[in-house]
């Protein structure tokens, strides 16, 4: 029978990225392409102990249907963390999500009518671009520099397009690694608030700071329910358990709850209880310190190999934390072509064009330094350096 | 800041049902309202052992991001089960979902344009009504009798409305408990196929048969990718882990994969591995037998109490399995009113009107017999019988 799909699928393929990740199934590939944490960083013994204990103690409740909003003690704990960051919120302002990607989907479903303008950073997270496109949004890129979103351009784009919301990853941005300067943050929230433009603040990497001064979440400057903040445990505990949260206006969160009922009824209870118990165990701070130590070493190694193995004339975006290094090669260089050549030599990355809502920027690329071992970083970066040298 | 929500939220409240379930937070309430399995039926010791073991053995993989399609060995296992039911499918035809509710959401997002007609049984699952409404579908009810969907009415409604798909729960239907007769199944699939109407077959209760002859899944009669079948482990292992699957046309399943990336990237790996290991343990058949023994006793008790404690003139829909008894009271009786009175005496059920896409049918109600203990069934049904007697 022919498939008469909904029109929201017109022009959506998502195939370029899927093709990249299919290639990576080859275990020989040294992949700088993903956004995966280091597998050796997962606290598997602790989580094994927790999962078994909580199922034996509370299996009747954990294995039963749970509330769509989430597990109460976990929500309290996430609110406590938010409070320490200067965020005012109570139980009416929070919902547990199945990873922060679900928060992006919920925001899209709650706000986007076909043709609505959504402002995004340029470049931005591929998953968000794709989700907004499935709601037939019109994505408009806001200009950024090495300190994040340019406020003048933000104001101009707001005046011109009357967008529904701004999607931003203000800290250790994906893919650029850039952090929005502290002195732009309050102003950014004020500009959006005054123009009735919501902000979706996606902050999965904020805890992973290697250097520089701490910054405040956009939500901490929010005075009138402008900001919906997405929290994730994927990069500090585990992505495979799929636990995040959204914090914001109670009216918005209650719409998220309504839509989450259809998407998965609730986030797996066992995963929620495991995150709660891990947070309560007191292990998290030391665990994050260990992740930071490991990732900052890997990042430094990757940077030194860019210096020694790559051709000159490559711009490296500033990066004080997170998972990514963003490179701009001399103009005219095509990283899609370099990608094909590199994969033949078993090294992968993501060509930068995929991170731009309107494509282009073919001379950019993203490297992930968190997942691969130091030995493989050394090996892979030498190969990649040679491929780039041979192709520019 | 005011909220400028998407127009798909116009006219959607979902509040009636949420109000019911808020009331149930009161632990004193004897609730026949939910669709919850018996908490004592969950294999918590086995799942505790599995969770700890697999995390220690494979934590690096289980705690990492996983493929959106799902955990390969679990997909193979689900396909094996499907094969035994006469269903032809391979890995291109399956995706693991975060409960079968997510399958309904994925089907809606993949097929529904605003205003599209979706055929539903009358009555039908509240969650599906709500999900389809969030995609601005036009729900049209197909008439049913004690053997399920009336094929004449199905054909007439197809000719009249050119629907995108039929949503059906053919076995131990929620809320009516009714099973589509075996001799209507092949014809139903043929009618839909000939008219290019897809079928979404939701089958969470099919394994829980207390009496009568086994029936074949609609999908087993499918010759041309008409049927997308939703499988759930919620009623036979645990709903709290949120694991189900969708089986159908590979083109449709690849759209589901695209949309699932946004909804939660993938279903919690630990939950998928736990279901796989439980299926492989060989415990499931015995476990299902034990659930059937317990639920059929509870159902028989509830039926006997309807006879002894309720007024006469109540029609009981035939029910050979599942979780629900569906009652039709004399016309003119308002179960919304009876619900209010019953809750004051700490007994709850779901007024039947909520299960009808267009409302009405105020003299119907749904009783769940799986969750409450036999003692509480006895106590609650006596109270409910008195409330009904006093209010008709």
Q: Is residue B162 less than 8 Å (CB to CB) from chain A?
A: no
B138-142, strands of its sheet edge to edge: B94-97, B244-247, B227-232, B198-202, B165-168, B117-121, B138-142
Q: What does chain A come to in residues?
A: 392
In the predicted structure, residue A21 carries a pLDDT above the cut 80: no
CATH class of B7-43+285-390: alpha beta
- Interface contact B66-A240, CB threshold 8 A: yes
| Distance (Å, whole) CA B170 – CA B121 | 9
- Interface contact B42-A65, CB threshold 8 A: no
- Interface contact B36-A64, CB threshold 8 A: yes
| Distance (Å, whole) CA A314 – CA A292 | 26
Q: Which residues of A193-207 are buried (b: 16+ CB within 10 A; e: fewer)?
A: beebbbbbbbbbbbb
SS3 B317: coil
State the average pLDDT for chain A: 96
- Interface contact A242-B56, CB threshold 8 A: no
- Interface contact A51-B48, CB threshold 8 A: yes
- Please tell me which residue of chain B has the smallest CA distance to A252: B3
Chain A residues in contact with B264 (beta carbon < 8 A): 98-99, 101-102, 242, 263-264
Question: Minimal Cα–Cα distance from B69 to chain A, Å?
Answer: 12
Phi, psi of B227 (to 5 degrees): -105, 130
| Distance (Å, whole) CA A5 – CA B258 | 13
| Distance (Å, whole) CA B354 – CA B17 | 8
Q: Which residues of B271-298 are buried (b: 16+ CB within 10 A; e: fewer)?
A: bbbbbbbbbeeeebeebbeebbebbbeb
In the predicted structure, residue A18 carries a pLDDT above the cut 90: no
How far is CA B71 from each of CA B33, B76, B242, B277, rounded to the nearest angstrom? 34, 9, 14, 12
Confidence of residue A17 (pLDDT cuts 50, 70, 90): confident
In B, residues 59-98, which contact A (CB 8 Å cutoff)?
59-66, 98
- Interface contact B111-A251, CB threshold 8 A: no
Chain A residues in contact with B242 (beta carbon < 8 A): 264-268
- Interface contact A263-B52, CB threshold 8 A: no
The β-bridge relationship of strands A350-351 and A347-348 is unpaired
Q: What is the mean pLDDT of residues A372-383?
A: 97
Q: Is residue B113 less than 8 Å (CB to CB) from chain A?
A: yes
Confidence of residue A184 (pLDDT cuts 50, 70, 90): very high
- Interface contact B65-A8, CB threshold 8 A: no
H helices present in chain B, as ranges: 15-23, 44-62, 72-84, 100-111, 126-134, 151-161, 182-194, 250-264, 269-280, 284-309, 335-344, 374-390
Phi, psi of B148 (to 5 degrees): 90, -155
Confidence of residue A15 (pLDDT cuts 50, 70, 90): low
Phi, psi of A167 (to 5 degrees): -100, 120
Question: Minimal Cα–Cα distance from A381 to chain B, Å?
Answer: 23
Q: Which residues of chain B have pLDDT under 50?
A: none
pLDDT at A328: 97
Phi, psi of A200 (to 5 degrees): -100, 105
What six digits make up the tokens of A324?
């990514």
Question: Minimal Cα–Cα distance from B180 to chain A, Å?
Answer: 23
Question: Minimal Cα–Cα distance from B190 to chain A, Å?
Answer: 12
Phi, psi of A147 (to 5 degrees): -115, 25
pLDDT at A27: 86
Question: Minimal Cα–Cα distance from B144 to chain A, Å?
Answer: 25
Q: What is the mean pLDDT of residues A198-216?
A: 97
Which of A12, A60, A63 would best serve as a mutation to test chain B binding (most B beta carbons within 10 A)? A63
Q: Are B81 and B244 in contact (CB under 8 A)?
A: no
Q: Is residue A108 less than 8 Å (CB to CB) from chain B?
A: yes
pLDDT at B22: 76
pLDDT at B14: 66
Phi, psi of A375 (to 5 degrees): -60, -45
- Interface contact A258-B198, CB threshold 8 A: no
Which of the listed CATH numbers 3.40.50.1580, 3.40.50.300, 3.30.479.30, 3.40.640.10 matches domain A44-280? 3.40.640.10
Give pTM, 2 decimals: 0.97
Pick the closest to residue B339 from B317, B305, B360, B363 (CA basis).
B363
- Interface contact B258-A14, CB threshold 8 A: yes
Q: What is the mean pLDDT of residues A365-379?
A: 97
| Distance (Å, whole) CA A314 – CA B42 | 58
Of B44, B134, B271, the CB nearest to A60: B44
Per-domain residue ranges for chain B? Answer: 7-43+285-390, 57-280
CB neighbourhood size of A83 (10 A): 12
- Interface contact A101-B263, CB threshold 8 A: yes
Question: Minimal Cα–Cα distance from B319 to chain A, Å?
Answer: 24
- Interface contact A64-B239, CB threshold 8 A: yes
Angle A205-B105-B89 (CA atoms, 0-180°, nearest 5)?
A: 105
Question: Minimal Cα–Cα distance from B122 to chain A, Å?
Answer: 20
In A, residues 347-366, which contact B (CB 8 Å cutoff)?
none
Chain A residues in contact with B52 (beta carbon < 8 A): 48-49, 51-52
Specify the higher pLDDT residue, B27 or A102. A102
Of A65, A111, A193, the CB nearest to B1: A193
CB neighbourhood size of B223 (10 A): 12
| Distance (Å, whole) CA B82 – CA B91 | 12
pLDDT digits (tens, 9 = 90+) for B73-94: 999 999 999 999 999 999 999 9
| Distance (Å, whole) CA A93 – CA A82 | 11
Chain A residues in contact with B130 (beta carbon < 8 A): 258, 261-262
% chain A with pLDDT above 70: 99
pLDDT at B250: 97
Q: Are A69 and B21 in contact (CB under 8 A)?
A: no
Pick the closest to residue A167 from A195, A139, A207 (CA basis).
A139
Q: What is the DSSP annotation of A152-202?
A: HHHHHHHHHH--SEEEE--SS-TTT-----HHHHHHHHHHHHHTT-EEEEE
Torsion-angle region of residue A298: left (phi > 0), alpha (psi -120 to 50) or beta?
A: alpha
In B, residues 21-60, which contact A (CB 8 Å cutoff)?
34, 36-37, 39-40, 42, 44-45, 47-49, 51-53, 55-56, 59-60
| Distance (Å, whole) CA B348 – CA B340 | 9
- Interface contact B6-A111, CB threshold 8 A: yes
Which of B10, B18, B37, B55 would best serve as a mutation to test chain A binding (most A beta carbons within 10 A)? B55
Q: What is the mean pLDDT of residues A33-44?
A: 94
| Distance (Å, whole) CA A377 – CA A30 | 8
pLDDT at B26: 83
What six digits make up the tokens of B298?
């509870």
Chain A residues in contact with B3 (beta carbon < 8 A): 249, 251-252
In B, residues 228-257, which contact A (CB 8 Å cutoff)?
234, 238-242, 249, 251-252, 255
Chain B residues in contact with A106 (beta carbon < 8 A): none
Q: Is residue A15 less than 8 Å (CB to CB) from chain B?
A: no
Of B36, B51, B265, the CB nearest to A52: B51
Confidence of residue A14 (pLDDT cuts 50, 70, 90): low
Does domain B57-280 fall into CATH 3.40.640.10? yes
pLDDT at B258: 95
- Please tell me which residue of chain A has the smallest CA distance to B18: A258
- Please tell me which residue of chain A has the smallest CA distance to B261: A127
pLDDT at B15: 65
Name, in order, each residue with C-beta under 8 angstroms of B22's C-beta and a sequence gap of 6 or more.
none
- Please tell me which residue of chain B has the smallest CA distance to A15: B258
Q: What is the mean pLDDT of residues A177-185?
A: 98
- Interface contact B240-A270, CB threshold 8 A: yes
CB neighbourhood size of B254 (10 A): 16
């Amino acid at each position: 029978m022919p498939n008469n799909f909904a029109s929201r699928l017109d022009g959506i393929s998502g195939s370029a990225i899927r093709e990249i990740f299919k290639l990576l199934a080859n275990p020989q590939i040294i992949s700088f392409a993903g956004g995966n944490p280091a597998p050796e960083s997962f606290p598997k013994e602790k989580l094994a102990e927790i999962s078994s204990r909580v199922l034996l103690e509370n299996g009747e409740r954990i294995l039963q249907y749970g509330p769509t909003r989430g597990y109460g003690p976990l929500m309290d704990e996430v609110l406590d963390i938010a409070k320490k960051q200067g965020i005012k919120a109570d139980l009416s302002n929070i919902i547990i999500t199945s990873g922060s990607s679900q928060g992006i989907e919920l925001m899209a479903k709650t706000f986007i009518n076909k043709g609505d303008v959504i402002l995004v950073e340029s470049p931005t997270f591929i998953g968000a671009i794709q989700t907004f496109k499935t709601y037939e949004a019109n994505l408009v890129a806001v200009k950024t520099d090495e300190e994040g979103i340019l406020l003048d351009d933000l104001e101009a784009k707001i005046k011109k397009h009357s967008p529904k919301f701004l999607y931003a990853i203000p800290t250790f941005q994906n893919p650029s690694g850039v952090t929005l300067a502290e002195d732009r943050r309050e102003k950014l929230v004020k500009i959006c608030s005054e123009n009735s433009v919501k902000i979706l603040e996606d902050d999965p990497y904020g805890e992973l700071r290697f250097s520089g001064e701490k910054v405040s979440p956009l939500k901490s400057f929010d005075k009138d329910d402008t900001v919906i903040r997405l929290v994730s445990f994927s990069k500090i505990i585990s992505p495979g358990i799929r636990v995040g949260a959204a914090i914001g206006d109670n009216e918005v969160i209650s719409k998220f709850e309504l839509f989450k009922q259809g998407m998965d009824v609730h986030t797996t209870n066992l995963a929620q209880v495991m995150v709660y118990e891990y947070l309560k165990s007191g292990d998290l701070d030391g665990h994050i310190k260990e992740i930071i130590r490991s990732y900052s070493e890997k990042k430094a190694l990757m940077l030194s190999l860019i210096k020694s193995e790559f051709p000159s004339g490559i711009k490296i975006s500033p990066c004080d934390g997170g998972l990514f290094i963003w490179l701009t090669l001399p103009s005219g260089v095509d990283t899609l072509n370099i990608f094909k050549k590199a994969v033949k030599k078993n090294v992968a990355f993501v060509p930068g064009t995929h991170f731009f809502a309107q494509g282009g920027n073919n001379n950019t690329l993203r490297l992930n330094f968190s997942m691969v071992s130091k030995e493989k970083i050394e090996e892979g970066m030498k190969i990649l350096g040679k491929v780039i040298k041979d192709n520019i």
